[in-house]
A and B are shown apart, each in its own frame.
Chain A
Amino acid sequence: MNKKANYKWLVLVVIMLTILSIPSFFWMRKDNNARAERSKSLLSPVIMVPGSSATTERFNQLIDELNKTTFKRHSVIKITVSREAKLTYSGAIGKNDLEPLIIIGFDNNKDGYTNIKKQAKWLNAAFKSLVQNYKFNNFKAFGHSNGGLIWTYWLEHYYAEYSGDIKIKKLMTLGTPYNFNESNINNRTQMLADFIRNRSKLPTYLKVYSLSGGKNYESDGIVPETSVAAGKFIFQNQVKNYTAITVTGEKADHSDLPQNKQVIQAIRQYLLKKPERPLKPNKRKENH
């Protein structure tokens, strides 16, 4: 061995580092730019998941009602996820719309815990695609009936993957049966037990609103009130705040809830961004 032999190794390492750092440099610049873009983005979509047996068309009436009275129209994107996790998009985000509504539905929209787990996985496939296609750093979630269960499962099992870059601000569930059809709270279903067991994974900054319908004193006609109320065992003392609201009167049964005026009012008030109203002329003067 001659004295030069070891210089050879050191030079090789330096060359290797240089070669490796050139693509790394460009990759890093691109990645950091994308990160900066996401961080500056003002886009804050509302992602909605319908319940069992419902498709992406489930919220049409709700959206119409919402847009009638909202200052700016919300644009709508609908995504259907097939059993093989293939996505079909329709609609587009309007140019200046910072709060689009995105509806995610599933080809297999059946009831039951095993299906909910599958649907959460499909929801994640759609979410991943949304994250890649649109630069947003926060969003709001809405789930009708089982849609709320799918969101809860997703939050406990998939959200951690994104939480560094993308924040979920609020979750609103509507007639969500956290204990399925069980009206006795002492009989916890497997799903509820699992939700409670994994509750520590729910983000502590999340605001949760759980809306229920009261057709009679026990249920909204399908989901028992106690099953909706069981949500408190999952969210209370874990998330930032948990608010339960019961809506009664006209259109308060389970499948009418998304069209209910009070529900739409609650969505506008709690879930959506507050509209920026132009200041009144006299107030403007005061500011001068």
Chain B
Amino acid sequence: MKEFTFNILVRIQEYSFFRAARHTMAMLMPIAVVGSYFKVLNDLVFTPNGLIYNIFSLDKILSDHIWYAGSFVCRGMVEITFGVFGVYASYFMARYTARLYHKDSTMAGLTAVSIMLFCSYASSSGRDARMPFTASLLQVNALFIALIVGYCVGQVFHLLGKNYSYVKDEGTKVLQKRAGAAALPSFVSLLAGILLGIIIYELQLKLLNSASFNEIVSRIQTTNNFAEVLVLSVVITFLDWLGIGFPLHSLSGTVNNAYTAENLTYTLRHGNSWNVPYKFLGSSLINTYGTMGGASVVLAIIVLMLLIRSNRENEINAKINLLPATFGSTLGFNIGLPLILNPVFLIPSIVIPLINMTLAAAAISLHVIPVCVYQILKGTPGLLVSFFGTNGNWAALIFTILLFLLDIVLLLPVVIFNEKMVTRINNQKKG
């Protein structure tokens, strides 16, 4: 049975889409890591509700000048990494797809980038002269779209492109010939891209911004029905695995709505949160116990990889992402490993939050831990969210740590399985 699953998963990984996606994300790992470090820095220090900014009263220590400069740099770096990640991703995705079939990969990449930018232009409804592109389509949270666009362009090159082999010292003439040879597939892809753009423009499709997932997000933020929370959690964690991070992203941090306000008011009046009106609010359960601000799956895998040490690349990856992942910035590792679109981690990424939330809900109804209602500062480490969200309840802290250890144990076979698979795929390449 195990061998059977193993073979199926290896087979899936061999599909051109997954192969190209894996290569793309490996290539983009450094960009994602830089982005996640700056994001952590921004969350902790350069946001008015950041953890370090508040607990060390940086507003009194840091001069406005330095703070604004730091904030400017951090936001800028996050913007040029995660903000336009789709541009990079579509380029490399088209490139690696075309390369699988020995086509002119650079031209494919450029075509994919122009299509992405055109779609982004088409969906910017404001027609604001200063902001011709909508960011939402290009963001890392819409990575899946970028990968699909890149893959389609790559496939067009596969079908229509001429075979191309790398030439050392290209002269202008060779280059002109190369551009000419890529004209047909580029033109066809661009035409398809324009059609897509027209559809987006005419229907005013807000492709994949937070608004498209408003329905799911607002449902999970307002539901107190535990079964519904579990179902929605499956949808959201699956989308996140796919590379559509908007729904999960909009649940991180403190959610403010009538329900959380009612819980908080109750708690402030009574001095404790044992009997708040909404005990199983989806937003609170998912972020505090389900994903634990990124700790339950990502940080657990990082810890395991640091301990198992069977694969050098994974270990390095884990090491550089340890710090940002601790503070809830998991994208560097999601892309670096990758976790996104990695069939081995599909089931664990969905199931582990479900297990965590079920245990937490049970503990809440048995009055082992109080409900998490207090506001959390930005950049609060995932493992401490429940502790601070309950105004320092020790039972909640211990419960979360035990949950984290359980997650590590559950993920141990998965990580070992993954290491084996990486070895197998590498060996096949050599063989």
By a beta-carbon cutoff of 8 Å, the part of chain A in contact with chain B is: 3, 6-7, 9-10, 13, 16-17, 20-21, 23-25, 27-29, 32, 35-36, 39-40, 164
B381–A23 CB distance below 8 A: no
The 23 listed contacts between A and B (C-beta, < 8 Å) are A6-B307, A6-B315, A6-B319, A7-B307, A13-B322, A13-B326, A17-B326, A20-B52, A20-B55, A20-B381, A23-B55, A24-B377, A24-B380, A27-B54, A28-B388, A29-B391, A32-B268, A32-B374, A32-B391, A36-B268, A39-B265, A40-B269, A164-B261
Which of A3, A10, A28, A35 makes the CB contact (< 8 A) with B392? A28
Partner of B374, one of A20, A21, A23, A28: A28
Report yes or no: B323 in contact with A21, Cβ–Cβ below 8 A: no
- Closest residue of chain A to B51 (Cβ to Cβ) is A24
Q: Mark B258-279, 1 if CB is under 8 A from A, else 0.
A: 0001001100110100000000
- What residues of chain B lie closer than 8 Å to A10, measured between beta carbons? 303, 306-307, 322
| A129 CB, nearest partner CB in chain B, Å | 15
| B81 vs chain A, min Cβ distance (A) | 23
Closest to A21 in B: B384
Report if B309 contacts A (CB, 8 A).
Answer: yes
Minimum-distance CB pairs A-B, first 10: A39-B268, A6-B306, A36-B268, A27-B55, A23-B55, A32-B391, A24-B55, A28-B388, A13-B326, A25-B392
**CB under 8 Å from chain A, chain B span 373-404:** 374, 377, 380-381, 383-384, 387-388, 391-392
Flag if B323 contacts A13 (CB, 8 Å): yes
What separation, in Å, do the CA atoms of A23 and B57 have in the docked complex? 11
B426 in contact (CB, < 8 A): no
* Alpha-carbon distance between A6 and B388 when the two chains are bound, in angstroms: 28
Give min CB distance, B101 to chain A, whole Å.
40
Q: Please name all residues of chain A whose beta carbon is closer than 8 Å to the beta carbon of B303 when the two chains form the complex.
A: 10
Contact between B381 and A17, CB atoms less than 8 A apart: yes
Rounded to whole angstroms, the CA-CA distance of A6 and B308 in the bound complex is 10
In contact, B392 and A36 (Cβ under 8 angstroms)? no
B428: CB under 8 A from chain A? Answer: no
Assuming A17-B384, A27-B54, is B309 touching A36 (CB within 8 A)?
no
In angstroms, Cα B384 to Cα A177, docked, is 52
Pairwise interchain contact B51-A9, C-beta atoms closer than 8 A: no
Chain A residue at minimum C-beta to C-beta distance from B260: A164
Contact B387 A21 (CB under 8 A): yes
Q: Is the interface of A mostly helix, strand, loop or mixed?
A: helix
- Considering the chains assembled together, what is the distance between the CA atoms of A135 and B327 in angstroms? 33
By a beta-carbon cutoff of 8 Å, the part of chain B in contact with chain A is 51-52, 54-56, 256, 261, 264-265, 268-269, 271, 303, 306-307, 309, 315, 319, 322-323, 326, 374, 377, 380-381, 383-384, 387-388, 391-392
Is the pair A29, B392 in contact by a Cβ cutoff of 8 Å? yes
Provide the bound-state CA to CA distance between A9 and B321, in Å. 11
Inter-chain CA distance A28–B55, complex, in Å, is: 8
B52 cross-chain contacts in A, Cβ below 8 A: 20
Supplied contacts A24-B51, A36-B269, 15 more A-B pairs, CB within 8 Å: A6-B307, A9-B319, A10-B306, A21-B387, A23-B56, A24-B377, A24-B384, A27-B54, A29-B391, A32-B268, A32-B374, A36-B268, A39-B265, A40-B268, A40-B269
Q: B373's closest neighbor in chain A, by CB? A: A32
Contacts of B384 in A (CB 8 A): 17, 21, 24
Residue of B nearest to A1 (CB): B309
B contact residues around A21 at 8 Å (CB): 384, 387
Complex Cα distance, B265 from A39, in Å, reads 7
C-alpha gap A21/B268 in the complex (Å): 22
Interface contact B309-A6, CB-CB below 8 Å: yes
Report A8 CB to chain B, min CB distance, Å: 10
Residues of the A chain whose Cβ atoms lie less than 8 Å from the Cβ of B261: 164
Complex CA distance for A49 and B237, rounded to whole angstroms: 51
A27→B57 CA distance, assembly (Å): 10
CB distance from A22 to the nearest CB of B (A): 9
Q: How far is the CA of A32 from the CA of B54 in the complex (A)?
A: 13
* B319 contacts across to A, CB distance below 8 A: 6, 9
B221 to chain A, nearest CB (A): 15
Closest Cβ of chain A to B355, distance in Å, is: 23
In angstroms, Cα B315 to Cα A24, docked, is: 31
Which of A23, A28, A36 has the most C-beta atoms of chain B within 10 angstroms of its own C-beta?
A: A28
Contacts of B374 in A (CB 8 A): 28, 32
Distance in angstroms from A255 CB to nearest chain B CB is 41
Q: Determine if B383 and A17 form an interchain contact, defined as CB atoms under 8 angstroms apart.
A: yes
Q: How far is the CB of B120 from chain A (nearest CB, A)?
A: 27
Residues of chain B with a CB closer than 8 A to A35's CB: 264, 268
- B326 to A164, Cβ gap below 8 A? no
CB distance from B97 to the nearest CB of A (A): 36
The interface residues of chain B lying within 8 Å CB-to-CB of A16 are: 326
CB–CB B271/A36 < 8 A: yes
Least CB distance from A131 to B in Å reads 15
The smallest C-beta distance from B255 to any residue of chain A, in angstroms, reads 12
B329: shortest Cβ distance to chain A, in Å?
14
Interchain nearest-CB distance for B388 vs A (Å) = 5
User: Nearest Cβ in chain B — how far from A137, in angstroms?
Assistant: 9
Residues of B within 8 A of A27 (CB): 54-55
Most buried by B among A3, A7, A36: A36
Within the complex, which residue of B51, B269, B381, B388 is in contact with A39, where a contact is CB–CB below 8 Å?
B269
Q: A177 vs B424: C-alpha distance in the bound complex, in angstroms?
A: 77
Q: List the B side residues contacting A25 at CB < 8 Å.
A: 388, 392
B256, B322, B388: which contacts A164 (Cβ < 8 A)? B256
The distance in angstroms between the C-alpha atoms of A28 and B387, with both chains bound, is: 10
Q: Which residues of B contact A23 (CB under 8 A)?
A: 55-56
Closest B-chain residue to A39, C-beta based?
B268
**Residues on B with beta carbons closer than 8 Å to the beta carbon of A6:** 306-307, 309, 315, 319
Contacts of B392 in A (CB 8 A): 25, 28-29
- Chain A proximity of B400: nearest CB distance (Å): 12
CA distance A40 to B381 in the complex (A): 30
